[in-house]
Structure 1
């Protein structure tokens, strides 16, 4: 089976999380992804624990279905290989700091001269322009600068380091895929490629879909626990008697009525309509008292039969076994050479025509170097020479 993106061929120069997650999605949907990796400066994701079968599980997941060409980009022979690949691979994804690819002779203008249809996507922390363009950063920094962290947490304890990388993935990865596919559609119409500048901080900033709109139009700046959806209302988490947590999102009156009736406090439902902070704070205290009267399992059993927007907070191990995620087939078995298949998170995008089955986990460094070069017409002797000179691995 071929996926919907089977016509796309992508050279992926990225490492760590944002770029590889983007090309993971593209590969899952059928695109052919060739990773260009340094043989001397290893992608740190390859050594990140935990390990399974001697390989990093994060690397095995984020780089499934991709081939690996180990190429020392500082060597002119490597530059020649990339130029030849551009005859077939007309999309480039890279994640270096601004100017690095240009210094290597692999910037957009240089490669566009070889293939005018080239689509070139750069993912960086702060973008290709502005005073921060050369500054180092990580997900927590992008969320802090973009104003996201300032409204995520508790007033008395401060912002929370999130368990998933929002700026990296929701910011960098998803927007890179959207921009890339939009450019593909335009290229189909015009025949021309283009350059796409993705800043993870910009994209995190754009996630202020509600609070940002309110501030820019009305001057109402969101603070921690000040909005309906960030802890400023009863829309929150509540602890059970045995120390587990349940999420309450019963915003609409019909859901609020079911919630309060299930708690044995139907008279509380009317309070959910008030927008006064003091009324919401009082309601939250009442709800917490009620939730602490029963254990987690009791609440789960009770709310399983109600449509009240109340769900248990699950750990990852519990979520994997939940019947909803099992029905959605969100765990897939991915083949490994010489080892049993590895369980991984499946592509969450469902197509009526289906998607091709995963081919393999993330490949060893340079696993496909000879195969790729043979495909370009290099002889066995030429490949041996490049290996001896450590241009490839």
Structure 2
């Protein structure tokens, strides 16, 4: 299951760019990945050859309708759900804000909802605001400072017969932890609560399966999995039956139109289809699946190959960062627990501000983020809302040599007082 890294990197036009002869080292993937070349081609083709609204009988409109159908099929394969359980929107944050008041419409005083201290605020603030509007209690599931895992043993104390919704992140954009969302969703399901999963950080790294997880709602953003700026959301048939949609009167009462008001970005839908095709192609590139296998099978194989490669990147990073003096890593550092995290690492270096580290790395054409990345709750737990930290994220287009380049740069920074 070895990815041919040179072949994979050639699939991304941006990786060939140079600045004054220096390559770019993209380690900013948790905030947004680079775009596969086939995505650019699909979007360009759509805007030239299929520039029309769907639903008409003329050639470009028919072509647009085919793009929509392909996007729904691709998204269904991504989530492992039915095509009439998928909608598209601007991004995950916007989709959660769109859905929150619909889900909360019947909440009453005395009800409660459960959020976590580990989530990106996109999966916190929409539900906080909905709870405030309906006058319901908000509870929080905490995480362990030693294991960097959610305290699942407390679910029985937090979820009861008046719990109406439970929201949890599949993978943390701050700590990198992969959460046992199936256990959280099972606890929600036991009391009839709506279960909501933010899959933005997991989608680029591991195969999603809403059936196995047992959630009612799941969202991801295509620009985090090598595609365009677009959000994609799974909505279970159970949840569809519980909510009243926001839509114009002439609009049909069928999915996806029922819960996707207004004209979507057809070019972004085409790009998302291409991004999902890229993930499926990784399995072919690694030699673990045939090109004529069903899309879902190729997706699972492709993400399996990506995860195997990223595991090696994580091992290399953890070995290297251990040699850099003054480092505090906020997340799982045990090489035996790499299956419990994605390749997102947040850290500090004693005596050096996060801003200064990011600036110096940028001067070396190494692209990383500094701050708290909208992870308001985990940053608050760690006391990092003010000073922030440095975050690097590896994905399947990164190489072991790039990890070594980063470690060498961090070593040089840490040795300078």
Q: Which has the higher contact order (CA 8 A, sep 6+)?
A: 2
Q: Which range, TM-score by smaller chain?
A: under 0.3
TM-score (norm 2): 0.22
- Greater percentage in helix: 2
TM-score (norm 1): 0.23
